[in-house]
Amino acid sequence: MRGYIDIHSHILPGLDDGSVSMDQSLNMMRIAYEQGIRAIIATPHNMPGKGCPAREEIQEALLRLRAAAEENRIPVELFRGTEYYYREEVLQLLEKGNGMPLGNSDRVLVEFGILEEKRYIQNAVKAIRGAGYYPVIAHVERYERLMEDLETLSGIRKMGACLQVNAASVLGGNGRRTREKVKRMLRMGLVDVIGTDAHSDRKRGPYLKECAEYLYKKYPAEYVDSLLYGRAKQWL
Ligand SMILES: [Fe+2]
């Protein structure tokens, strides 16, 4: 195994509400390494109020962190990405070919408001597909209305979306109800990829090890492999 791949991380310093400094970013990388992560796709927010860094800024921050990690001998690969808060503007960006997909893929990480209607999310998936990309729905367990309806969840996967769940939610860090819903999705094979959604080197750090151990205990190894790196390695 080449190690886990974290496709959702606010690890780049100073671009959003994630890491605040190069030191913190390096600490996050050290933690990630200890957790078994060997590749990270950096996904700063593109969301009014939280940060909307330009592509060049992301690229520059990525190169700086990559160089610092090398200097500090932290063997974790870094790739570029963005977490888009879905809105009309994002669609226009994608249509013009100015988006920043995950790594070298045609997958874009998108998030929504937690109370967003199912229909709106379905339409977003359709529109993103129309723009030539495949969406990865960030922390799908947060969208209450979508989670109420497993048929719709399975439907948007059939439309080409991947569903990402946060590692903390698997372990109950976001409440028991969320955990139960995530377990049901896992049993049904509706989860495509686990990410940390790390924001710091503290409480919201890039923790994955305990989640991975739990998953390997409960679910078929082949499925867990795909959740932790198998799927994502196609995107690097
Ligand atoms: Fe995030």
- pLDDT above 80 (res 124): yes
> How much is the pLDDT for 7?
98
Give residue 46 CA to ligand 1 midpoint distance, Å: 10
Distance 174 CA to ligand 1 centre (A): 14
Top-level class of domain 4-235? alpha beta
Residue 157 has pLDDT above 60, yes or no: yes
Mean pLDDT of 20-28: 98
What is the Å distance from ligand 1's center to 9 Cα?
Answer: 6
- Identify the burial level of 52 via C-beta atoms within 10 angstroms of its C-beta, where 0-12 means exposed, 13-18 middle and 19 or more buried: middle
Q: How confident is the model at residue 2 (pLDDT cuts 50, 70, 90)?
A: low
Expressed in angstroms and rounded, the spacing between residue 139 Cα and the centre of ligand 1 is: 8
Query: For the residues 21-40, what does the mean pLDDT come to?
Result: 98
Query: What whole-number percentage of the chain has pLDDT above 90?
Result: 99
Which pLDDT belongs to residue 55? 95
Residue 30 alpha carbon to ligand 1 centre in Å: 19
